[in-house]
Amino acid sequence: MDEQTQDITTSAYQDERDELADLGMEESQPDNLLLEAIRAARAEAAERHIYDMDVPGFRGLLVLRLVPVGGRKGSIIRERWQQSKSPDKDTNLNADTIIAALQEVCGRTEATGPVKPLDPEVPVILDDRLTRLLGLEVPTINGQAPTARQVLFTIFGAAHDPDLAIQRCGGEFMEWASGADAQVSEEALGES
């Protein structure tokens, strides 16, 4: 479309809008109830993709909010696990899965209360900011900032057996994620 044609089209559109306004009519807007229903459905679908993991040793007050790990990330984690010669490779697999799935660190004021972000403005993740907020010391090498894995092991350090707790929590999350994927696939097939 050349510039002159575009100006004519824009002008005609503006004239039509002005006429509607003069008659006390506005352009039709999407029905607010329709938009609210769509937003509610989207929020409900998003909720099915969230897994809140209580961190052992914090009496249900510290929560890791996790989401399913994408195929590429999952493949990288599994490949690293398969190539590992470490005796802790299973624990590391679960730790890395939790880290990859982390959306943000949250909390509750009581064990059965609602889960809320630790910082509603900027999501808290597994880094030195979290350890400062919790008043935890993380052993690091040469004063470097701690890695996400070091922070995860530190917060799970309150459990009776941190390695076992990480393995159990990671396994429960993976079981949930595979079940959630199947449920979403079934729902998608039923909506055509």
Domain boundary assignment for the chain: 49-190
Tell me the mean pLDDT in the region 103-130: 93
Q: CA 55 to CA 169: how far, in whole Å?
A: 8
Can you read off the two tokens belonging to residue 153?
């092991």
What pLDDT was estimated at residue 123?
A: 94
Q: What is the reported pLDDT for 179?
A: 77
How confident is the model over 72-97, as pLDDT tens digits? 787 888 888 888 888 988 999 999 99
Measured CA to CA, the distance from residue 39 to residue 44 in angstroms comes to 9
CB-neighbour burial class of residue 74 (10 A; exposed 0-12, middle 13-18, buried 19+): middle
pLDDT tens digits, 13-53: 555 555 555 555 554 455 688 877 777 766 666 566 789 99
Spatial separation of the C-alpha atoms in residues 72 and 69, rounded to whole Å: 8
Angle, vertex CA 69, rays to CA 63 and CA 73, nearest 5: 125
13: its two tokens: 């559109």
**Cα-flanking dihedrals φ and ψ of residue 69, to 5°?**
-85, 130
Share of the chain above pLDDT 90, in %: 42
For 130, the token pair is 């979290």
Contact assessment for residue 119 and residue 99, using Cβ atoms and an 8 Å cutoff: no
* pLDDT computed for residue 14 by the predictor: 55
Residue 192's pLDDT is what?
45
Whole-model pTM: value is 0.69
